[in-house]
Amino acid sequence: MAFPRQRPRRLRSTPALRRLVAQTSLEPRHLVLPMFVADGIAEPRLIASMPGVVQHTRDSLRVAAAAAVEAGVGGLMLFGVPREQDKDASGSCGLDPDGILNVALGDLAADLGDATVLMADTCLDEFTDHGHCGIVDSAGRVDNDATNEQYVKLAVAQAHSGAAVVGPSGMMDGQVAAIRDGLDDAGYPDVAILAYAAKFASSFYGPFREAVGSSLLGDRRTYQQDGGNAREALREITLDLEEGADIVMVKPAMAYLDIVAAAAEISPVPVAAYQVSGEYAMITAAAANGWVDGRAAALESLTCIRRAGADIVLTYWAADAARWLS
């Protein structure tokens, strides 16, 4: 069908017109800020590969979290960084009520209450001395079912500490169902599960491993997904939905916008996407060299993730972007 009198540029002629007809919105409420809290440090520690991001002390975390909530971010996702000597093969310090992640969750729950959505990364990689996301057997393989048993304990500990949402990110088969049953049995039926449903074995995670002090040797390709497999990603998302996921997430975001869009097509629950450390670092480095306008590129990237279908975006720019958008 032809529309000979159409001139699309008419609707781009002023900022007000562009705002009026914008198909995709980006608002602070859509954004979740990942934050790192480290044990055994006296002041915030810079993460060299992620300029502008730090490992927090408990005290600095409380200040930064309150500022992010004041700026309007939708939620906070917390990662714990234990002391090296506290790591072991089973990641037991992640279960400890006095472990760094759990006490920090308690701090923020007490400070912020219902003013934000407090989330916890429910994985073992930060807490294990081998750096894998689960329990490693005698053959050096990650044991799926033994790992799920540990995830249940981890999720219950996080819920007890004040997490409103737990985020299983290890890509074990059946992890969502196991955690749902465990939370319900422990008296936490209202704690939601944000499932890392399609998490790819990506080179864009490099800076994150510095951020959490990862001890990983080798790779995680036996449990994280291959970057070329879209059908498998949708299968994983469908399985997590069947197991009771309240939110499903695609990670990384920018290189996998087709997966975000496909997830949005099939999901009856909100879809999240994680703009990961390497994606953040690339734009930040380009901006530092004067090659791109950092603020404009950050906001454009976030808008494009939203356009693909993400209801929620985890991004290290969350607090900054919320202020830019206000």
* pLDDT tens-digit series, residues 288-299: 999 999 999 999
**pLDDT band for position 212 (cuts 50, 70, 90):** low
Q: Each residue of 78-96: pLDDT tens digit? A: 999 999 889 998 899 999 9
Q: Which of 64, 5, 13 is nearest to 34 (CA)?
A: 64
Cβ neighbours of residue 56 under 8 Å, at least 6 residues apart? 35, 36, 37, 38, 44, 64
Residue 319 amino acid letter: A
- What is the DSSP secondary structure assignment for residue 24, as one 8-state letter? S
Is residue 131 pLDDT above 90, yes or no? no
Work out the percent of the chain whose per-residue pLDDT is above 90. Answer: 80
Mean pLDDT confidence for 193-206: 91
- Compute φ and ψ for 42, nearest 5 degrees: -95, -20
Residue 78 amino acid letter: L
Choose, from 199, 220, 260, 275, the residue flagged as catalytic: 199
Least confident span in 205-209, 267-271, 312-316? 205-209
Q: Each residue of 66-77: pLDDT tens digit? A: 999 999 999 999
Give pLDDT, residue 3: 74
CA angle in degrees (0–180, nearest 5) for 41-43-44: 95
Contact 20, 1 (CB under 8 A): no
- Tokens 């308690």, residue located: 106
Q: What is the CATH number of domain 26-247?
A: 3.20.20.70
Whole-prediction pTM value? Answer: 0.94
Task: Respond yes or no: is residue 153 known to be catalytic.
Answer: no
**pLDDT band for position 56 (cuts 50, 70, 90):** very high
Crossing angle, helix 294-308 and helix 318-325, to 10 degrees?
100
Choose, from 163, 251, 257, 322, the residue flagged as catalytic: 251
